[in-house]
Homo-oligomer: A and B are copies of this chain.
Amino acid sequence: MKRTSLAGDSCPVARALDVFGDWWSLLIIRDASLGRRRFGEFQASLGLAKNILATRLRTLLERGILKTVPASDGSAYQEYVLTPKGHGIFPILVALRQWTEEFDEHPDEIATIMVDRDRGKPVKKLALLSQDGRVLGAGDTTLKPRPARKPARRASA
């Protein structure tokens, strides 16, 4: 009767949600990608209960999204920073942001826009491209069964 796990699911969307698809994890990851590192920073920024923050940080560590590093200010405390696997979540944050920018009923309540650091200009919308460079919408794609792993090009067993 516990919350059903999606870990063994064959759908990659479900598998991702199993890792960080709960109510708080993505916001913690967002904060981490904004440079927040300390327990107290997350707690103050998100306003969630400390016990929940503690368990979320623990599972994000277990799952390789975050890692702990000795505190940057020389104190004996530790800090939480994104691993490469955690940084890989960035496009998902961008996609969420752009969805709100496009479809939210009250876009005036959005505080920030994402710009490229060099020019300060807004970024473009994420684009899904085919291998020959066409822009694809939802209707232009299908799912195919994943081909078996390529068998190392020797004798085909």
Binding site for B on A (CB under 8 A): 3-4, 6, 8, 10-17, 21-23, 26-27, 30, 33-34, 47-48, 85, 87-104, 108-124, 126-132, 134, 136-147, 149
Contacts and interface: CB of A to CB of B under 8 A. Distances in A.
In this complex, the member of A8, A114, A132, A141 whose beta carbon has the largest number of chain B beta carbons within 10 angstroms is A141
A109 to B, nearest CB: 6
Contacts of A122: 131
B114 A143 contact: yes
Contact of A22 (B23, B115, B144): B23
Contact of A99 (B4, B91, B120, B141): B91
Contact of A138 (B90, B119, B131, B136): B90
